[in-house]
Amino acid sequence: MPFETPQNGNFLVAAYTVAAVIYLVYAGTLIRRARRALRRGSGEAGK
C-alpha cells in the first residue's frame, strides 16, 4: 500500500535544539564552577 512520508522536520528541529540547549547549559555551569574552583585554588596555593 502506498504511503506518504510525513512532513515532521519541525519535531527534528525541536529535539535537536532541546538537546543542544541542555548540553550547552550544563557545560556552561561546569565552566563557571570550574573557573571558581581554579580561582580559589590558585588563591589558596599562593598563601
Partner 1 sequence: MSTNLSAARSTIRRGLVLMTLGLLAAAGVYILAIYYTPMEARQGLAQKIFYVHAPAAWGALVAFSVVGLSSILYLWLHDERLDLFAASSAEVGIAFSMVMLTTGPIWGKTVWGTWWTWDARLTLTLFLFFLFVAYLALRAAVPDRGERARFSAVVGIMGLVLVPFIHLSVYLFRTLHPQPVLLKPSAPSMPPEMLRTLLSGMAAFTLLYLGFVTVRYGIACAANVREGSSDAV
Per rule CB under 8 A, is residue 27 in the interface with partner 1?
A: yes
Per rule CB under 8 A, is residue 14 in the interface with partner 1?
A: yes
Cell of 35: 573557573
Per rule CB under 8 A, is residue 18 in the interface with partner 1?
A: yes
- Coil vs helix vs strand at 4: coil
| Rounded Cα gap, residues 34 and 13, in angstroms | 31
Per rule CB under 8 A, is residue 28 in the interface with partner 1?
A: no
Minimum distance from CB of 41 to partner 1 (Å)?
Answer: 5
Residue among 45, 22, 23, 42 nearest 34 (CA) = 42
Question: Which positions touch partner 1 (CB under 8 A)?
Answer: 3, 5-9, 11-12, 14-16, 18-20, 22-24, 26-27, 30-31, 33-34, 37-38, 40-42, 44-45
